[in-house]
Chains A and B, each alone.
Chain A
Amino acid sequence: MSSTFVSDSLAAIPPRRGRRSSLRTWRWSDRLVLLAAWVAGLSLCAITAAIILYMGYRGVQYLRPGLIFSRPQVSKDQAGSGGFLDPLIGTALLTLIGIAIAAPMAICSALWIVEYGHGGRTRQFLTRIVESSIEIVAGTPDIVIALFGLAIFQLHILAFVSFVGEGGGVYGKSFLAAGAMMSLIALPPLFVATRDGLQAVPAHMREAAFALGKTRIATIRRVLLPSVRANIATGITLGVSRIIADTAIVLVLLGETLRTEPQGGVPGLGVLRGTGSTLTSYVYENSPAGEGAAPQKAYAAAVVLMLFVLVLNLAVEWITRAQARSSGSIAIAGGIV
C-alpha cells in the first residue's frame, strides 16, 4: 500500500534532467569512468589556464609597448637589443604572401570538386586524386615542406625568388620562398572550409539560377561564392593562424637575419626577395634553443604571438557561432582540422 503511494508520489515529481539521482544505482566501474571523464575535461581546462596565465604573467613582466614599435638592434645585453618591429612585419608579410597564393588555389580546387567533380568514372577518379593530394599536404610535417622548399628554390631556374651568391650557388632563402611554402600550410584548412560550405549550399539555389538561364560559371560568381563568404572567412582565419604559428619553415627558408634585409634595388620586390625574421623565429632564436641571449625578449614576443592567436580564435569562434545560429550544429572540428 505505502509502496504504491511512494512510487506514485515519486512519479508525480517531474523528472530531473540531471543524473545525480540515479548515480547511486551505478556500478563502481561506471562511476570511475564518470570521474575519469570529469578529470580529463577539467585537466584540459587547467592546462590551458596554466599556459595562458603563465604567458600573461611573463607578458606583464616583460612586454612593453616600446618593444612593438622599435627595430631589433645588435647589442650584448637585453636593454639595448631593441624591439621586434621587424619580426612583426615579417609575420604579416609572410601571412599575406601565403594567403595570397593559397586562397585562389583552395577556392578554385573546392569549386572544381563540388561543381564539376561529378560525372563519369574518370571524373570521380580525378576528384579523388585532388582530394587525396590535399589530404597528403595536410598530413605532411612542416619540416618536410621546408626541406622541399629549399630543394626547389635552390635550383637555378628559380633563382629570381632569392638571389645568387658569390660562388654561384643559389641562396634559396627569402620571403617569397617561405611564403610559397606557407601557402601549402594554409591550403588544407581553406580548401576544407570552402568545400564544406559549397556542399552545404542547398541544391535549390543552384537549380533556381539554372532555371533563370545562368551558366555554371555565372552561378558560381553571383550565387555560390557570396553565400560561402563566411566559410571562406573561417578558412582564411584558420590558415592565417596556422601560418603565424609555424616555425620550421621560417627557420629553414627565411634566412634568419635579425632585421628585414631587402635584396636588390626595387623597393617592394626587394623585400620579397630578401631575408628577415618572424615572431616565431625571433622567439626561437632568443630562447635557449637559439642563441639564448634574451629570454625576456623571447617571452615578450611569445606573448604578442599568443595575443594574435587568441584574437584569431575569437574571430573563428564568432564566425562559426554566427553560422551555427543559422544552421544549428556544433562544428568544432571545422575549427581545428
Chain B
Amino acid sequence: MLQRLRKPWSDNRAERLLGAVSFLACLTVACMVVFVAIHAWPTFEHNGLSWLGSGGSLSEQVERMLATSANPPASAFHIRVWPILYGTLLATGLAVLLALPLAVLSSIFIVELAPAPVRRVMIIVVRLLASVPSVIYGLIGILVLVPFVGAHLVTSAERTSLQNTVQLTGAGLVVAVVLLTVMITPIMVALTCDALGAVPAAWREGAAALGVNRLRAIRAVTLRAIRPAIVAATVLATARALGEAIVISMVSGSVFFAPRPSDGAAFLLEPFRSFASTIVDFREGLGAPALSATLYACALLLLFSAFALSVAGYLVKLPMRKYQVKG
C-alpha cells in the first residue's frame, strides 16, 4: 500500500482530498450553530422570544439560576435580558458611530494628504493598533482610564443625584466606548485605505480637470466610489465590537443596568453589561444548567448577529454594484 501511496497521485484523488479538507470548514460552522443552539434551547423553551424583553431584576434572576444545580425547576429558567441587549447595542452603536468618521478621515489622510515618510509611519501605526491584544487594552483601561474618569469626570453632583439608582465609579460606558473605538478604527482604516488606493487615477484627474480642488474631488468622487468598501468596513467593525468580551468585562463596571439617556451627561458614565462580557463574567457558572442555557443563548444571539451583519452588508452593497471599483 505504501508503494501505491508513493506513486504520483491522480488529479481526481488529489481533488477529492483537497475538497474534503475544504469542507471541514463548512462542517465546523454547521457544528458550531447546531451545538450552541442545542445548549441554548432550554432558555427559549421556557421563555420564548420574550427572553429579550424586560421585567424583573436581572441579578436576582441570575442568582436564582446559580442556586439550582442539577434538574432545575422550570421557574429557574425565567430571565429577561433587556438590560444586556440595550447595553450591547449602546456600546457597539456609539463605538461604530465614533469610529466611522475617524477611520474615513484617517484613511483620506494616509492615502491622499500625508507626505511619503508620514504615510509609511501611518501604515505601521495602523497595523500595530490592530494587533494589540485586547487584554492590553483592558489593562490600560482598568488601571489608567477608569481611575481617571472616576476621579476627574464624575462630579459629586452627578453621584449624589444618582445615588439611589446606580453607583458611578468611573467604569462605564465612556471608557468602554473609547476603547472599542480605538480597537475597531484600524480595521476600518485598513479596508478604506485599500479601497481608496484602488480608485482609478483617471477619475480624480477628471475632477481636477474640471477645476475641483483636491478635497472636493475626494468628497464628490472618491468617497462615493468606495461606498461598498466603507459598508464592508462598518460591517466588519460592528462584528468585532459586538464580540469584544474581555475589554468590556474589564472596564464596563459589570452591573446589570440599562444606562438612561434622561440622566444627561451622567448617561455616559453609567455602568452596563454586554452579551459577550456577561459570558466572560459568568464563565465559571457554566455548571449550573439554567445559567449555562442562558449563556449559550447569548452566544447564539452573537452568532446570528454576525450572520445578519454579513447579509445586511451584502444587501446594502447590491445597489452599489454599478461602480466598478473593487469593494
Contact = CB atoms under 8 A, between A and B. Distances in A.
Interface of A: 19, 22, 25-26, 30, 33-34, 36-41, 43-45, 47-48, 51-52, 54-55, 104-105, 108-109, 111-113, 115-116, 126, 129-130, 133-137, 139-145, 147-148, 150-152, 184, 187, 215-218, 220, 241-242, 244-248, 251-252, 280, 283-284, 287-289, 295, 298-299, 302, 305-306, 309-310, 312-313, 316-317, 329-333, 335-337
A108 B245 contact: no
A213 B160 CA distance: 83
A50 to B, nearest CB: 9
A139 B303 CA distance: 9
Residue of B101, B105, B143, B193 with highest tally of chain A CB at under 10 A: B105
B18 A108 contact: yes
Interface of B: 8-11, 14-15, 17-19, 21-26, 28-29, 31-32, 35-36, 38-39, 101-102, 105-106, 108-110, 113-114, 118, 121-136, 138-140, 142-144, 182, 185-187, 189-191, 193-194, 197, 213-216, 219, 236, 239, 242-246, 249-250, 276, 279-280, 283, 286, 295-296, 299, 302-303, 306-307, 309-310
Contact of A116 (B18, B213, B280): B18
A133 B28 contact: yes
A218 B128 CA distance: 39
A242 B9 CA distance: 35
B143 A109 contact: no
A251 B186 CA distance: 26
A217 B243 contact: no
Contacts of B279: 143, 147
B191 A305 contact: no
B136 A55 contact: yes
Given A287-B143, A313-B127, A332-B123, A112 B246 contact: no
22 contacts: A30-B215, A30-B216, A34-B113, A40-B106, A44-B189, A45-B122, A55-B136, A112-B18, A133-B28, A134-B25, A141-B239, A147-B299, A151-B296, A187-B25, A247-B134, A283-B135, A289-B142, A295-B143, A313-B127, A330-B193, A332-B123, A337-B191
B133 A247 contact: yes
B106 A142 contact: no
A241 to B, nearest CB: 5
Contacts of A41: 105-106, 109-110, 113-114, 118, 122
* Binding site secondary structure of chain B: helix
Given A54-B144, A217-B11, A332-B123, A148 B280 contact: no
Contacts of A141: 239, 242-245, 276, 302, 306
Contacts of B243: 140-144
B191 A40 contact: no
A133 B136 contact: no
B203 to A, nearest CB: 18
A215 B113 contact: no
Contact of B19 (A112, A218, A289, A295): A112
B136 A302 contact: yes
A147 B23 contact: no
Residue of B18, B106, B131 with highest tally of chain A CB at under 10 A: B131
A305 B280 contact: no
Contacts of A19: 214
B193 A333 contact: yes
B215 A54 contact: no
Nearest to A52: B128
A136 B127 contact: no
B35 A38 contact: no
Contacts of B213: 22, 25-26, 30
Contacts of B121: 45
B271 to A, nearest CB: 14
A139 B306 contact: yes
Nearest to B245: A143
Given A38-B109, A215-B10, A288-B142, A147 B131 contact: no
Contacts of B39: 147, 151
Residue of A141, A150, A187, A330 with highest tally of chain B CB at under 10 A: A141
A130 B286 contact: no
A115 B18 CA distance: 10
A287 B142 contact: yes
